Amino acid sequence: MTLLKSGEQWTEMRASIFDALAGFDKPASAYDIAEAVSKARGKRVAANSVYRILDLFVGSNLAMRVESANAYLANAHPDCVHDCIFLVCDSCGQTTHIDDDKLSSGVRSAAEKAGFHPVRPVIEVRGTCSDCD
């Protein structure tokens, strides 16, 4: 597991938060996850604790953050490192992650030409999915 490779421990709380995150079929907010974990554990879990763990998951590539929704998705391929491109449906909230290294390298290249040093390009396309058309 990527988290363990970085020297972090896989605790019961982290496992609970990851299980809750993976159980959502759409991007979930820290509040959604805190509520799910609170119900499962029978005691309140604070959203700020969930945020810290989600930040750790994003840094370890176990989760991806949908910036425009301030929400998270479990990463189905944590060993694969690509810049994230999300297609976000404004009607139903469904979010699809795609990899297009040509597109993201173009964004990185454009940033570098402008004298900017990109760390992590975020590309999100808002619109309507085929189910909502």
Written as one letter, the residue type at 114 is A
> pTM of the predicted model, to two decimals?
0.83
- Mean per-residue pLDDT for 47-68? 93
Q: At what angle do helices 12-23 and 47-59 cross, to 10 degrees?
A: 80
| Chain segment 90-114, per-residue pLDDT in tens | 999 999 988 888 998 999 999 999 9
**Quick check: 8 pLDDT over 80?**
yes
Q: Walk me through the domains of the chain, giving residue ranges and CATH numbers.
A: 2-74 (1.10.10.10), 85-127 (3.30.1490.190)
The mean pLDDT value of the chain amounts to 90
For the stretch 24-34, pLDDT in tens is 999 999 999 99
User: What is the mean pLDDT of the segment spanning 52-81?
Assistant: 89
Are 71 and 106 contacting, i.e. CB atoms less than 8 angstroms apart? Answer: no
- The per-residue pLDDT for 14 is 95
107/79 Cα distance (integer angstroms): 23
Q: 76 or 69: whose pLDDT is higher?
A: 69
What values do phi and psi take at 103, rounded to 5? -65, -50
Q: Partners of 125 in the beta sheet?
A: 87
Question: What is the 3-state secondary structure of the chain?
Answer: CHHHHCCCCCCHHHHHHHHHHHHCCCCECHHHHHHHHHHHHCCCCCHHHHHHHHHHHHHCCCEEEEHHHCEEEECCCCCCCCCCEEEEECCCCCEEEECCHHHHHHHHHHHHHCCCCCCCCCEEEEECCCCCC
pLDDT of residue 2: 62
Looking at residue 77, its pLDDT comes to 78
